């Protein structure tokens, strides 16, 4: 390939990347722009992206006194963090078992776990609601945490299993020869080596549970226990929608996800890629 052909190739790649980034980021730019506009600027014709008179009044109203936004934020943080930690604890040992141990039906049960992801959440929500109702867990944080386990545990097991498969068995065997039990070799040798995988799995599961809407809308009935995806509908009225406040709240919801991604972006991208190519 000549130098001119290489240059043309990279120009095409960067152009496609620019088009894709614009396509992905444009809705976010519109959301932030709307949140910084006063009501008289939000629906002008022709529309413009950069506010002429930027204002933070929408954000101040969302997080101001009397607003339930901070309460919704804490609810989402509690539910997302608790469910993610529980999933990591379960998936850590389960994925190690599927990667290292030999037991009857291992491959069958692992395929069964993966097949569970083929069912849409809408297909199981009625059954889950009946179970939660019989256990008197409706309108509790535990109802959401348990419900989130149904779709996050299989993903956690699949991702971490591939990290365990990437670690040579000889490291554990050498540790056990030196006197370690299997659990000690697992905890002191293997777990530190998959910290990038734990970070990637934690970030992915937190993203998924943080933005979940359908279960939160179904299982939580009181206003004080709503999560953010449901709570922002306070700004959607029957006859009128406060678009400035709605876009400001939507922008604030994205902030924790963006900050977490900045800290774990390398582990997240590497973890998902590794999980996709290793069997």
Number of alpha carbons in the 13 Å side-chain half-sphere of residue 88: 19
Q: Is the dihedral of CA 224, 227, 230, 231 positive or negative?
A: positive
Say how far apart CA 255 and CA 243 lie, in whole Å.
19
Q: Is the dihedral of CA 148, 153, 155, 156 positive or negative?
A: positive
Helix (H/G/I), strand (E/B), else coil: 236: strand
Task: Take residue 273 and report the two structure tokens written for it.
Answer: 């890629």
Say how far apart CA 144 and CA 159 lie, in whole Å.
22
pTM of the model: 0.81
Say how far apart CA 207 and CA 27 lie, in whole Å.
19
Average confidence (pLDDT) per 10 residues, the chain, 279 residues: 77 89 89 89 84 88 82 93 93 90 86 83 88 91 92 89 86 86 87 85 89 91 90 77 87 86 69 48
Can you give the pLDDT at residue 120? 83
The partner residues of 241 in beta bridges, in order of sequence, read 236
Taking a C-beta distance cutoff of 8 angstroms, is the pair 226, 220 a contact?
A: yes
Q: Closest Cα partner for 198 from 269, 92, 86, 79?
A: 92
Can you give the pLDDT at residue 277? 44
Best CATH choice for the domain 65-277 from the list 2.40.50.100, 3.10.20.30, 1.10.3720.10, 2.30.30.790: 1.10.3720.10
Say how far apart CA 193 and CA 172 lie, in whole Å.
12
Say how far apart CA 227 and CA 266 lie, in whole Å.
29
Can you give the pLDDT at residue 276? 45
Domain residue spans of the chain: 1-55, 65-277
Other C-beta atoms within 10 Å of 193: how many?
A: 14
Cα torsion at 262, 263, 265, 267 (round to 10°)?
A: 180
């Amino acid at each position: 390939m000549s130098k001119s052909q290489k240059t043309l190739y990279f120009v095409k790649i960067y152009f496609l990347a620019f088009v894709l980034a614009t396509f992905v980021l444009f809705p976010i730019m519109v959301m932030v722009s709307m949140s910084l506009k006063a009501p008289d600027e939000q629906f002008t014709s022709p529309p413009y992206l950069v506010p002429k008179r930027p204002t933070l009044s929408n954000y101040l109203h969302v997080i101001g006194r009397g607003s339930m936004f901070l309460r919704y934020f804490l609810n989402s943080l509690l539910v997302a963090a608790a469910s993610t930690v529980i999933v990591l604890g379960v998936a850590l040992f389960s994925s190690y078992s599927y990667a290292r141990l030999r037991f009857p039906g291992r491959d069958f049960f692992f395929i069964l776990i993966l097949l569970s992801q083929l069912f849409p959440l809408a297909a199981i929500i009625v059954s889950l609601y009946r179970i939660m109702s019989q256990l008197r867990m409706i309108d509790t944080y535990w109802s959401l945490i348990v419900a989130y386990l149904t779709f996050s545990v299989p993903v956690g097991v699949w991702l971490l299993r591939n990290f365990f498969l990437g670690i040579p068995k000889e490291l554990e065997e050498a540790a056990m020869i030196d006197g370690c039990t299997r659990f000690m070799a697992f905890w002191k040798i293997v777990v530190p080596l998959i910290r990038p995988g734990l970070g990637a799995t934690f970030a992915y599961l937190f993203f998924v549970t943080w933005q979940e809407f359908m279960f939160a809308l179904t299982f939580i009935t009181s206003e004080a226990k709503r999560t953010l995806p449901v709570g922002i509908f306070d700004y959607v009225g029957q006859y009128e929608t406060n678009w400035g406040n709605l876009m400001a709240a939507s922008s604030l919801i994205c902030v924790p996800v963006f900050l977490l991604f900045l800290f774990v972006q390398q582990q997240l991208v590497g973890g998902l890629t590794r999980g996709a190519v290793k069997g």
